[in-house]
Structure 1
Amino acid sequence: MQKFTIHQVEVLRRAAKKISRAEGVSHGHALDKLAQENGFKNWSLLRKNGVSDPSLPQAFIFRRTDDEVSQSLRVVRAPRSRWDQQSSSEAALGQTEDLSQKFISPINAVEFSIAYMTALLRRVRFLVAEGSVAKWEMRCWLPYGAIESERGNRLLVNRMYKPVGMTSGDWVDYEQFPQHALKLRDDQWQQFAWPGAKDAFLYADVCAPWGSRELATHYLKRLDQLSLTIQRNSES
């Protein structure tokens, strides 16, 4: 039987919630249905016998309270001194953690981004201010596109064309980030690219996810499609 990582179990939980809403069944029923589809009699048995050794590399999971999400959306007060005239944007970037080495796979980076966007969209007021940590997190942490690499794979990159999660703008060797590489068949990128895209990009400046709630919602749907595409390829 298949063994799931802790992160994959969380992904199944989220999938069960979607099934519950779409089909009008209980969350428990949806969990059992997914367990049966993966060779287990019910969800309890999957949790008991289907989780991989926790000593193995585990996916990096997004964890942030609603208050922490709200805090990330606020403009950072930049330090002002005779020698340091740092802008709010520069100060916010300085507070943005580099996650590029924490993602263990493309699906990990995408599922992290889905959880991140879902948390942002729970805010009653969706406003990503210039000079906020959230603005830089979205530019650095979230997939902007999957660009072709020298080895024929594609690499998940952020808005700065760096491996997803990276905060530095310095030159980087893409080949040093194999955990960000994914394979796409033919024109599969069209399944998740933004309308009008000519390559595997999930958004453009005119439809960046920090622009509005509507744009963020559309971007989240494209992330969902990217996740499905990666999972289908890994199963085939």
Structure 2
Amino acid sequence: MLKEELRHTHFPYSLQKQEDGTYVVTNRNYKPIGFMTGEWVDYNESPVGVKISGLTPQVAAKLDHKGRNNVESIFLYGDGCTPTSDKKSMDDYLARLALLMKLKIAS
């Protein structure tokens, strides 16, 4: 479902590991970042996966809003959270986003 806030389509919500070891960075609607559709998206049909260097369980725990070290699915903010709703939520989200943006793309 599309929403009116840019956050829903253009802010990273999760990283979903694929069978080939790449990650798809999804928006709140579980679509690749920037995809503005309510339709089902098969990640394998679009070149949206990225190999990320150094994404260890320890790094995943720092990125995940609950501190989980699961490298298969990482959530930058919670299902019931709107990071733009208050300063603390936004600051927490931006801190996790800053860590994510420091990671390198593997060649």
TM tier, smaller = 0.7 to 0.9
Structure 1 residue runs of 5 or longer lacking an equivalent are 1-89, 94-132
Counterpart-to-counterpart distance in 2, 1:147 and 1:179:
11
CA 180–142 in structure 1, closer or farther in 2 if over 3 Å, else same: farther
**CA contact under 8 A between 1:164 and 1:180: conserved in structure 2?**
no
2:65 aligns with 194
* Structure 1 or 2: more strand by fraction: 2
1:178 to 36, 47, 54: 47
Counterpart-to-counterpart distance in 2, 1:180 and 1:234:
11
1:146 aligns with 15
Aligned length: 101
Say if 2:82 is the partner of 1:208: yes
* Higher relative contact order structure (alpha carbons within 8 Å, sequence separation ≥ 6): 2
1:163 aligns with 32
Structure 2 residue runs of 5 or longer lacking an equivalent are none
**CA contact under 8 A between 1:163 and 1:177: conserved in structure 2?**
no
Give the C-alpha shift of residue 139 in structure 1.
1.0
The one-letter code matched in structure 2 to 1:148 is K
**CA contact under 8 A between 1:155 and 1:182: conserved in structure 2?**
no
Counterpart-to-counterpart distance in 2, 1:217 and 1:207:
13
TM-score (norm 2): 0.76
Report the identity percentage: 28
**Which has the larger Rg?**
1
Give the C-alpha shift of residue 148 in structure 1.
1.4
1:205 aligns to what SS in structure 2?
coil
CA 165–180 in structure 1, closer or farther in 2 if over 3 Å, else same: farther
